[in-house]
Amino acid sequence: MARTKLEGLRVAVLAADGFEQVELTVPMKELRRQGAVVEVVSIRPGQIKGMHLIFPGKKVRVDRLVEHADPEVYDALLLPGGFVNPDLLRQNEQVLEFVRAFDRSEKPIAVICHGLWVLASADLVRGRRLTSWPGIKDDLTNAGADWFDAPVVRDRNWVSSRGPQDLKAFKAAMVELFAERTPLAPKEIKRQSAKGRWLLGGMLLAAAGYALHRTPVGDMVRKQLSSTPTS
């Protein structure tokens, strides 16, 4: 059975009340479809409520509080947008340190819409190429970002998109970026280990053959073998 692209990857989805519904649920569904283990990390326990622009959306269960979440155990980060969600997140210093830890380790970050506010408040956007919801373009350029009006912008370990209209392109770019960090599945590790042992064995045999035919010790061995009487 073929591996999914993100098998074994652990992804943190950082969100709070007021997240844009489709910007969390659609990418999260794709991540799980591709085999990733996904956890919703937030600033309060229980459930957080989404929005459809200005209309109430559905609730999503929180898996872990940011104060108890260790960035080291995750391979990638997803930041959905919405008007209220990123504004709540960026006022929390533990959130800001959480996202800084991902960027320091050059782990992949996928961010859409107003989610860029969080990265701006963490003082991470200076000199970065990105896009966002057009309404926060000025906020990002004033923070030193190089802003583009495009469905997707990739800059090193970041991929960003403007909003729900770009979800199809965002999902594809996110999976491509995250796949670069996917750990090897156990079967692949076993295959690569066996291949490594086979190559090492071949190298040792080759070295032994060289020693037998190209060194003084080899000359002595050949001379001894040639002088041994046969029955």
Q: Is 100 within 8 Å of 77 (Cβ atoms)?
A: no
Residue 24 binned pLDDT confidence (cut-offs 50, 70, 90): very high
pLDDT for residue 191 is more than 60 = no
Residues 157 and 221 in one domain: no
Nearest to 35 by CA among 11, 5, 61, 55: 5
Q: In the predicted model, what is the mean pLDDT of residues 150-160? A: 98
Predicted local confidence at residue 211, as pLDDT? 47
Last residue of a domain, one of 147, 163, 179: 179
**Total structural domains within the chain:** 2
Contacts by residues 222-225 (CB-CB < 8 Å, ≥ 24 positions apart): none
Whether 2 is covered by a domain: the verdict is no
Domain residue limits at 193: 187-227
Please tell me whether residues 28 and 106 are part of one structural domain: yes
Q: Is 213 a catalytic residue?
A: no
Both 146 and 69 in one domain: the answer is: yes
Q: What DSSP letter does each residue of 65-78 carry, written as one string?
A: EGGG--GGG-SEEE
In a domain, 5, yes or no: no
Summarised one tens digit per residue, pLDDT across range 117-148 is 999 999 999 999 999 999 999 999 999 999 99
Where are any strands of DSSP class E within 2-124?
A: 10-14, 19-20, 37-42, 47-52, 55-61, 64-65, 76-79, 109-112
Which CATH number do you get for residue 131? 3.40.50.880
Q: Which amino acid is at 78?
A: L
Q: In this structure, are 142 and 175 located in the same domain?
A: yes
